[in-house]
Amino acid sequence: MTLNLKFLRVQSGMTLEQLAADSGLTRSYLSKLERGLSSPSIGSALKIAEALGTSLDRLYGEHDDKDPVAVVRAKNGKPGDTTTYLSLVAGLAPDRIMRAFIVRPTKTAKRGRIMSHHEGEEILFILTGKIELLIGKRKEVLYPGDCVQFDSTIPHKLTALTSEAASALVVIATKET
């Protein structure tokens, strides 16, 4: 799935500077997202959607669907977009409480990716590879089949620990207000 960021930003009449100010993200980072040079973390995607006054499904270019059963098909037997760090695979409709992503951390994420934090609760289920979860000051090494549930307001990030492709299913639920 590709981000629909530039279209939504222009449609809302916002400049990159305005979106940066409203989302708390940098102009250069937002520009990289618009050009497809980077993929947002879950926390960043939520901030961008909120700043644009839109939903994650519209940000990720998906259509709203009133069907109570949502099916997102794998491509070539693989969930999500295998070329990106993060792809939204469920919870596309704006009325859904939960969102599911496939995240594919890399070994370089340790230095290159900032810690994410966002409202709600998160479940992380390791699909492939050996992954380090840094949550607050705590480090956990996770293997396929391991599952972690935590308050996602605690800063956290994932790093692959081997050269083997690593992936995890991440489910977030926002707390009801």
CATH 1.10.260.40 domain position(s) in the chain = 5-59
CATH of domain 5-59: 1.10.260.40
Token pair of 89, please?
Answer: 């695979």
Residue 157 CA to residue 143 CA, distance in Å, equals: 15
Spatial neighbors of 165 by CB under 8 A, at least 6 apart, are: 104, 128, 129
| Over residues 80-93, mean pLDDT | 70
Residues of the chain with CATH 2.60.120.10: 104-173
Q: Quote the DSSP letter at residue 72.
A: -
Question: Who has greater pLDDT, 127 or 36?
Answer: 127
Superfamily covering domain 104-173: Jelly Rolls (2.60.120.10)
Q: Is the pTM of this model over 0.85?
A: no
For the chain, how many residues are written?
A: 177
Per-residue pLDDT reduced to its tens digit, 117-175: 778 899 999 999 999 999 989 999 999 999 999 998 889 988 999 888 899 999 988 76
